[in-house]
Amino acid sequence: MKHTRESLIALINECRATGKSINLKGIDLSGLGLSGLDLRWADLRSANLQSTILQKTDLRLANLQGANLRGANLRWANMRWTDLRWANLQGANMQWADLTLANLDFAGYELSCKTIGIKVDKRLVSQLLYHLCKMDVVNCPEWDELRNDGRIIDLANKSHVIDDYDLPEIEQTNAQEEE
């Protein structure tokens, strides 16, 4: 059964009234207009939310592991504490979405105009810096200098990926050390 906005609202209201968890695991909600809904604590693991409009939706602490959010509109969505591991966010519009404390490990997060202006925290910044520092960047002396700045290295080494996935800490590169 393909849900409509109305049937989904009825299901959410029933779950909230009876104290049951909102289990939408694996459900097909593709293309629906769900703007402004309260989906806090919803289990949306592996759900199909492709091209779904989730603008200004409250997804705090929702579980979106492995969800298909390809092309979804998540502008201004509250995604604090949301579990987005393994989620496909390709083409998703996340402008001004709040991803503070969200888990984006292994997510298909896109660097495009649609992700400019997102609100994040130190966890994601450290993770992104760690990945940047591990890139083999050529023909960019500006990055060579920044990459070896102690502040960049220190923040990158605060990334959770080091402990969680047993990765090595960032060290200064030889070119900088020889100077």
pTM of the complete model = 0.92
Whether 53 has a pLDDT exceeding 50, the answer reads yes
**CATH 2.40.110.10 holds for 1-120:** no
Q: Quick one: what percent of the chain has pLDDT higher than 90?
A: 94
Mean per-residue pLDDT over the chain, rounded: 95
pLDDT in the model for residue 179: 46
pLDDT in the model for residue 176: 47
Q: What is the mean pLDDT of residues 171-178?
A: 68
Q: Quick one: what percent of the chain has pLDDT higher than 70?
A: 97
pLDDT in the model for residue 175: 56
Whether 177 has a pLDDT exceeding 60, the answer reads no
Q: What is the pLDDT of residues 91-102, one digit of tens each?
A: 999 999 999 999
Q: What is the pLDDT of residues 60-74, one digit of tens each?
A: 999 999 999 999 999
Q: What is the pLDDT of residues 106-119, one digit of tens each?
A: 999 899 999 999 99
Whether 178 has a pLDDT exceeding 50, the answer reads no
Structural domain spans, the chain: 1-120, 123-178
Q: What is the mean pLDDT of residues 77-88?
A: 98
Whether 138 has a pLDDT exceeding 90, the answer reads yes
3-class SS string, the chain: CCCCHHHHHHHHHHHHHHCCCCECCCCECCCCECCCCECCCCECCCCECCCCECCCCECCCCECCCCECCCCECCCCECCCCECCCCECCCCECCCCECCCCECCCCECCCCHHHCCCECCHHHHHHHHHHHHCCCCCCCHHHHHHHCCHHHHHHHCCCHHHHHCCCCCCCCCHHHHHC
